[in-house]
Amino acid sequence: MFLILASVGSPWGHRVSAVIVHYRTPSETARAARAVAETSPDTEILVVDNASGDGIAARLATDVPAARVVLEPSNRGFGAACNRGARETTRPYLLFLNSDAYVRPGAVDALAAALEASPGAAAAAPRLSNPDGSLQPSIQRLPSPWRIFCESSGLAFLSGGRPPFAGHSATREDHSRPRAVEAVKGAALLVRRSDLEDANGFDENFFLYAEETDLLARWRLVGRGLVFEPRAEVVHEGGASAGDRLFGELQASLVRYAAKHHGRVAAIVSRVSLSAGAALRYAIALLTPGERGRARRARYRAALSGAAR
């Protein structure tokens, strides 16, 4: 359980549409939508149901009547659902929010104000926190073959995320101050509609994971930035609709990203790095007893499968 205090007189909510992608997480999706409704009442809420078949529309009609639901005929992936949500709305700012994330009071306003104050930025990202209130590191760097190798080999972990062995997600970053950053974990991201349209939306070839990283990389190529705003807090549980069984999608998406942004040779190098790293971790998991070992083996089997695509 958590307590959300309603926002009064939100100055930015009427300019924001919150898009929540739903896939068989009814409790989490209802919580995410309710948090937006209670902390930023003027924000439009749109839930894109990725053919879940779990009655989310009926639940939201009761729990969060302000939320509107659109149904995808099939699950075409997270990016495709985000694009559908963008097409179904017209407001100038779009808040893409994972179903397992929920905004804290003032978060929507803080993100919108940060983006308004940064004309060179296409997007603004919040401080992510764990359910216990602790920081969830979210500032990242764009992937490259070297950074993927550093993470897969364990060098990034052993170096504490410090250069030159920092990875793309295993990094040491300052989360205490507003600033321009290269990439973020995409559990919550406020974007300008005009920039999203200029980029032709999310690349729907990414089924799950790295779709926001690809978008940020494409914006960066044309001089459009990303700002981090720690005064906006979003709680992120992580893994509610994916978990270990879809960990392979992350590996596949990283290979796809490397091919798109760094070329065929980079994709081969990244695939080898990811496969070797997953194989090493699977071997270690064979020595891990009980349920923990079983879960880790399932995770790295999925990783091996994903990296091989």
149, part of any domain: no
Q: Which of 31, 37, 3 is nearest to 18 (CA)?
A: 37
Among residues 236, 252, 283, which one ends one of the domains? 236
Residue-wise pLDDT for 155-196, tens only, equals 999 999 999 999 999 889 999 999 999 999 999 999 999 999
Helix or strand or coil: residue 73? coil
Q: Are residues 124 and 254 in the same domain?
A: no
In the 8-state DSSP scheme, what is residue 13? G
Q: Are residues 37 and 96 in the same domain?
A: yes
Q: Are residues 24 and 117 in the same domain?
A: yes
In the 8-state DSSP scheme, what is residue 135? B
Q: Are residues 203 and 276 in the same domain?
A: no
Give the phi and the psi of residue 42 in degrees, each rounded to 5: -85, -10
Mean pLDDT of the chain: 92
295, part of any domain: yes
- Whether the pTM exceeds 0.95: the reply is no
Place of tokens 């990244």: 270
Q: The tokens of 165 are what?
A: 């062995």
Q: Which of 242, 176, 189 is nearest to 219 (CA)?
A: 189
Among residues 206, 236, 266, which one ends one of the domains? 236
Give the phi and the psi of residue 41 in degrees, each rounded to 5: -60, -25
Q: Are residues 119 and 253 in the same domain?
A: no
207, part of any domain: yes
CB 105 within 8 Å of CB 3: no
Per-residue pLDDT band for 292 (boundaries 50, 70, 90) equals confident
Q: Are residues 296 and 180 in the same domain?
A: no
Other residues' Cβ atoms within 10 Å of the Cβ of residue 19: 23
Find the helix packing angle between 26-39 and 107-116, rounded to 10°.
Answer: 70
Q: Containing domain of residue 291, as a range?
A: 244-307
Residue-wise pLDDT for 199-239, tens only, equals 999 999 999 999 999 999 999 999 999 999 999 999 999 75
Question: Whole-angstrom Cα distance, residue 9 to residue 13?
Answer: 9
CATH number of the domain bearing residue 33 = 3.90.550.10
Residue-wise pLDDT for 117-157, tens only, equals 999 999 999 999 999 999 999 999 999 999 999 999 999 99
pLDDT value of residue 285:
86
148, part of any domain: no
Q: Are residues 125 and 250 in the same domain?
A: no
5, part of any domain: no
Q: Are residues 77 and 192 in the same domain?
A: yes
Q: Are residues 70 and 196 in the same domain?
A: yes
Cβ-Cβ contacts under 8 Å for 67 (sequence gap 6 or more): 20, 33, 37, 45, 46, 47, 60
Among residues 236, 263, 287, which one ends one of the domains? 236
Place of tokens 């091919």: 259
Number of domains forming the structure of the chain: 2
Q: Are residues 117 and 265 in the same domain?
A: no
In the 8-state DSSP scheme, what is residue 6? P
